[in-house]
Amino acid sequence: EDQVTQSPEALRLQEGESSSLNCSYTVSGLRGLFWYRQDPGKGPEFLFTLYSAGEEKEKERLKATLTKKESFLHITAPKPEDSATYLCAVQRPDSWGKLQFGAGTQVVVTP
């Protein structure tokens, strides 16, 4: 059975204090690994898709990396507006786009 585990569950950072979120997965074949950001009371917002080990993608202060067993979301010099829950999800081949989500990491960045 596919499993997606995110750690830590919660992370409190000072503004400017860089850190990393982890997403470990077990899946029979990987078509893609996805990162989303979710603000309170809103739907998840798409950030990145990673397809193969060694791939990296960046957007502003966020950088996602992928290995064969896990993905990291690095937050560099975070600002309070980066506070959100970050969700990781995996997709298998021939799955009609269905995603298996982790429980998320709640990030709070204080000034």
Partner 1 sequence: NAGVTQTPKFRILKIGQSMTLQCTQDMNHNYMYWYRQDPGMGLKLIYYSVGAGITDKGEVPNGYNVSRSTTEDFPLRLELAAPSQTSVYFCASRGDNYGYTFGSGTRLTVV
Q: Min. distance of Cβ 19 from partner 1 in angstroms?
A: 21
Does 40 bind partner 1 (CB under 8 A)? Our answer is: no
Give the residues across from 105 on adjacent strands: 86
Among 18-26, 33-41, 55-63, 76-84, which window interacts with partner 1 (CB under 8 A)? 33-41
Does 10 bind partner 1 (CB under 8 A)? Our answer is: no
Q: Min. distance of Cβ 34 from partner 1 in angstroms?
A: 6
* Options 34, 75, 78, 107; binder of partner 1; rule CB under 8 A: 34
* Options 49, 57, 70, 74; binder of partner 1; rule CB under 8 A: 49
Query: Which amino acid, residue 61?
Result: R
Residue 77's Cβ-side half-sphere holds a number of Cα atoms within 13 Å equal to 3
Does 98 bind partner 1 (CB under 8 A)? Our answer is: yes
For residues 96 and 44, give the distance between their C-alpha atoms in angstroms, rounded to a whole number.
19
- Judged by beta carbon, residue 46 or residue 54, the one nearer partner 1 is 46
Does 99 bind partner 1 (CB under 8 A)? Our answer is: yes
Residue-wise DSSP of 14-78: ETT--EEEEEEEE-SS-SEEEEEEE-TTS--EEEEEE-STT-EEEETTEEEEE-SSEEEEEE-S-
